[in-house]
Amino acid sequence: MSNRLQGKVVAITGGNQGIGLGIAQRFVQEGAAVSICYLSDKPGTEKVVEGLRANGAKAIAVQADVSKLADGQRFVEETARQLGEIDVLINNAGVEKRAEFWEVTEADYDFVLNVNLKGLFFITQAFVKHQMKAKAGGKIINLSSVHEELPFPHFATYCASKGGVKMLTRDLSIELAPLGITINSIAPGAIETPINKALLNDPVKLKALLENIPLKRLGEPSDVASVAVFLASDESSYITGTTIFVDGGLLWNYQEQ
């Protein structure tokens, strides 16, 4: 590994498992100081932070429910207080819930939209306000999904949230450019993480999915982390408002037999 993020302070929502953890692990190796937030499992998260600190890296964890505005603000403030001014915000926390459209409850809708869209929206707002006060630019990286473009039947709430993330990324790229803040999304396909545990444990569904992936494998958190390093580094400074797909070719896989 190199030191592509040397000296940068990075706040990652939901960084104690899955893709967020993969990003946190890679970022400390690249020289960044990392703050993660977690909803529950304090002891598990403390172990994760200890692991991140190995080799002398700076890492902290803040308990926060990203769907609550005050928690999101506290996450941003606490990160800056403990690690110094933030260079990069990674909106990684996300959830999904399978349900036939006609069976989606208000609670299901709120659960998914409040984390994936409302939470992301207001943490981004808290970050932008903080940067304005600090007279600093910054970078925002959203973890979207192939499902910001691709239908995902039985996951209407998830698709609605990720479609929202896509447009928010485009919209804010214009509004935040004068502040020196860029915003981009990474859209993973099927990555081996806890979010799709049910699928990973179902050999029939897994086989069907692999047939749809031209590169014929699931992705790993490290496949996503390497793109996040690029987007967080100075090498991507002319990129804003775009989505980079990390999906083994899943999105555009149309074939006629």
Active-site annotation, residues: 158
E strand map for 40-87: 59-63
- With CB under 6 A as the contact rule, which of the stretches 16-24, 65-73, 84-92, 145-153 interacts with ligand BGC? 145-153
The interface with ligand BGC within residues 185-214 (CB under 6 A) comprises 189-190, 195-196, 199
145 binds ligand BGC (CB under 6 A): yes
User: Does residue 147 interact with ligand BGC by CB under 6 A?
Assistant: yes
Tell me how far, at minimum, the Cβ of 190 lies from ligand BGC, in Å. 4
Beta-carbon contacts of 198 under 8 Å, excluding residues fewer than 6 positions away, are: 98
Minimum CB separation of residue 14 from ligand BGC in Å reads: 13
Give the footprint of ligand BGC on residues 26-65 (CB under 6 A): none
**Residue found by looking up tokens 């989505």 in the block:** 243
Name the residue with tokens 């915000």.
89
Question: Binding residue for ligand BGC (CB under 6 A) from 65, 87, 96, 192?
Answer: 96
| Contact assessment for residue 8 and residue 26, using Cβ atoms and an 8 Å cutoff | no
CA 156 to chain centre: 19
Phi, psi angles (nearest 5°) of residue 184: -140, 160
Site string (151-190) toward ligand BGC, x via CB under 6 A: -x------------------------------------xx
| Core vs surface per residue 146-164: b (16+ CB within 10 A) or e | bbbbbeeeebbbbbbbbbb
99 is a contact residue toward ligand BGC (CB under 6 A): no
Q: How far is the CB of 130 from ligand BGC (least distance, A)?
A: 29
Among the residue ranges 14-22, 107-115, 146-154, 165-173, the one whose residues contact ligand BGC (CB under 6 A): 146-154
Vertex 32: Cα angle to 83 and 82 (nearest 5): 5
Containing 140, the helix (H) or strand (E) segment is: strand 138-143
Q: Which range binds ligand BGC by CB under 6 A, 34-42, 58-66, 68-76, 143-151?
A: 143-151
Backbone phi and psi for residue 237, each to the nearest 5 degrees, phi listed first = -65, -15
Minimum distance from CB of 4 to ligand BGC (Å)?
Answer: 26
Residue of this chain nearest to ligand BGC (CB atom): 145
| Residue 111 phi, psi (nearest 5) | -55, -50
**Residue numbers of the site for ligand BGC (CB under 6 A)?**
96, 145-147, 152, 189-190, 195-196, 199
